[in-house]
Structure 1
Amino acid sequence: MAVSRQGRTPVWAKIAEDLRSKIAEGAYQPDTRLPTEADLTAQYGVARATVRQALTALVNDGLIVPRAPRGYFVRLRQPLFYRPQQEFRPQPQTPEMDRFMADHSAEGREPRQTIDVSIVEPPADVKKRLRLADGEMAAVRRRIRYLDGEPFHTNDSYYPLSIVQDTEIMRPLDIARGANEVLAESGHRQVRALDEIYVRMPTPDEIQRLDLGPGTPVACHICTGLCEDGTPVRVVVNILPGDRHVIVYERGGMRGAGNE
C-alpha cells in the first residue's frame, strides 16, 4: 500500500499511525515480529529511512521493541497490579518471601529482588518529609523487584538513622515480618500514611535501574508513614514503569458515590 506524500502530515507519521492501528486492532499480536524494514519499504512505497523514522516513533511510544538482529517486535505487556492500600496488611510468614514475593509466586510468575542498605544524606524532598535536621543522616533500603527476569519497579525506603541503626532494617536481607513491625517493636508504630502519586518521565538513574526503553513514563508513589503523634518515621519511594503496572485502589464508604 503506497502512502501519499500530499498533505501536511509527514509520511513517516502516517506509516507510524497505520502500524499503530494494526497493533491496536490485533493484526500484529504481542511478542510477534513486525515485517522487516525491507518489507515495509516495499509495502508503503517509501525510502528505508522513512520506515526507520516510523519504527523509531513506535519504539518511543513503547509499542514495539528492537531485538537485534531479528527485527522489531510488538511489546508484550503483562502488567503488575500494584495495590498501595495493602501497605499495612499482614506479612507472609515464610522467611524467604516478602509480601511481593508471595503474591506473584502464586500467580505463576518468577519473582526475585535485590536489596542494598546504606547510610546516606537523603534527597531534599525525603529529608523534608522525615523532618530531619541539617546533617542528620538516614538509612535507606534500596530494592529492585523483578518478575520473570524483568525489573518491574524500585522500592527505596528511608528511615531516620537514629531510630533504626541497631535493628534488622540495617541488614541487606528480607525481613520476614516486615519493616513496619520492626519499627513498631522499637516504639515507632505507624498508624497512618500519606500517599502521593506523581506521573512523570524517569530520571537517568531510574532508566538505568529499571532498564527502561525510550518514551516510557513512570508513576512515582511516595508513602510517608506516621506515628500516633504525627512523627514521620519512614518514607518509601516506589518507581513504577507505566508500561508494567496498573495502580489499583479499593475504597469503602461509597454511599452517595457519583454525586457532586
Structure 2
Amino acid sequence: MTTMRSREGDSRWTVETATSDLRDRIRANEFRKPDGVQGQLPPASALGQQYDLSRNAINRVIAKLRGEGLLETRPGTRGATVRDWAPLVYLPQQEFEAETGPAGDLLTRLVEAVARKGESRIDQVTGEPVDERIANKLGLKPGEYVGVRRRTSIVDGVPAMTDDSYVPLRLVDGTDWMTPGNVARGTNKVLAELGHELVRAVDELRPRFTTEVENERLGLGAGGSVHAIELISTGFDRDDMPVQVTVLTLPGPRNTVVYERHRPEAEVTE
C-alpha cells in the first residue's frame, strides 16, 4: 500500500522532498514483507510516476538513500532492496573502559556488544600544520605541526562515521601513533606508553550537515549531504594537559549518540 504524503496546492515533488518522503516510508516498514523480511522498492519507473519525477531524478533519490545505508542495489533485480540496518548506538563514555587487547578500540567494543561487524578504514596518517580550531584546543601556536589520523568506521558494510584525531607532532613523531594502518593495542594506549594517558575528556556536540569531503568518505555521493552530529572530544592527561583532539562526524541516519549520567553519591555525614 502506498502511503506517500500528498503535496498541497501547486507544490511539486523535488529530489529532496521525495527523498524525505521515501525515507519515512522505509522507516515505517511499508516495504517489509509479510514474513518480516525487508522487501524491494517499486521500479524506478513506478516511483517516477508516484512522485512525478524523471528517471534521472529518481536515481538521485535512490542514490541518496543508498548512501544513508537504507537501500542497496543488486545486479539483475528490479528496484532497490531495503536494508535491515539499524543505526549504531555510540557511547562516548565507554572510551575509558579497558583499552587493552583486541577489543581495546571503542568501535570494536561497541559493535561486539551488539553482535555486529565493524572495521576501521584508515584514510590518512600524516603530519600537517595545525588549523586554528585544533590549535586553540591543544594550546598550540600557529604553524606548529600535529600528527593526524583520519579513519572511517564501517559497521555491517556501511560507513557509519568519520573519526579524525589530532596530537601535537612533537609527542608522537616516530612512534606507533603515526603507524600507517590500525594499531592493534589502540592509539590511546600508545599515548599512555608515552606518558600521556588520557584520563579526562571534554566533549562538544553541534549539529551540522556533512561536507563534500565527508560525503565521499561516507559513501554519500556528491551533493548527498545529510544532517549529522559533530562530536569534538578533547582528551587531557594526568597533568591536565590537552593531548588529543578527536573530531567525529556522525551522520544522523546512521548513528544514535547516547550519554549515561549518574548522580554523585551523597557524602556520608555523622
TM-score, structure 2 normalization: 0.74
**Aligned partners of 1:37 and 1:52 also within 8 Å:** no
Alignment of 1:213-224 (within 5 A): 214-224=224-234
Q: Structure 1 CA distance, aligned partners of 2:8 and 2:154? A: 46
Q: Structure 2 CA distance, aligned partners of 1:78 and 1:250? A: 20
**Aligned partners of 1:77 and 1:243 also within 8 Å:** no
Matched with 1:34 is 41
**Aligned partners of 1:58 and 1:64 also within 8 Å:** no
Q: Offset of 1:206 from its aligned partner?
A: 0.4
* Cα deviations by residue, 1:86-138 (Å, 9 ceiling, x for unpaired): 1111124138x734224424543332222232111123211221111122101
Q: Structure 2 CA distance, aligned partners of 1:66 and 1:90? A: 36
TM-score, structure 1 normalization: 0.77
Verify: 1:237 aligned to 2:247, yes or no: yes
Cα 1:54/1:232, change in 2 over 3 Å: same
Verify: 1:140 aligned to 2:141, yes or no: no
Matched with 1:121 is 129
**Aligned partners of 1:64 and 1:72 also within 8 Å:** no
Q: Structure 2 CA distance, aligned partners of 1:176 and 1:66? A: 32
Q: Offset of 1:9 from its aligned partner?
A: 4.8
Matched with 1:172 is 180
Match 2:203 to one of 178, 195, 198: 195
Q: Structure 2 CA distance, aligned partners of 1:34 and 1:166? A: 52
Match 1:94 to one of 88, 102, 120: 102
User: How many residue pairs are counted as aligned between the two chains?
Assistant: 248
Verify: 1:157 aligned to 2:158, yes or no: no
* Cα deviations by residue, 1:21-76 (Å, 9 ceiling, x for unpaired): 6545432238532223444566x6x8564x97688668768696584873344454
Structure 2 residue runs without a partner (length 5+) = 266-270
Cα 1:158/1:74, change in 2 over 3 Å: same
* Cα deviations by residue, 1:206-259 (Å, 9 ceiling, x for unpaired): 01111125242221111001234432111011111111111111110089xxxx
Matched with 1:85 is 93
Question: Alignment partner of 1:129: what SS?
Answer: helix
Cα 1:187/1:79, change in 2 over 3 Å: same
Q: Structure 2 CA distance, aligned partners of 1:186 and 1:57? A: 49
Q: Structure 1 CA distance, aligned partners of 2:98 and 2:119? A: 20
Cα 1:195/1:7, change in 2 over 3 Å: closer
Match 1:227 to one of 230, 234, 237: 237
Amino acid across the alignment from 2:108: M
Amino acid across the alignment from 2:118: P
Question: Alignment partner of 2:192: what SS?
Answer: helix
Which structure has the larger Rg over C-alpha atoms? 1
Q: Determine what percentage of the aligned residue pairs are the same residue.
A: 35
Amino acid across the alignment from 1:221: L
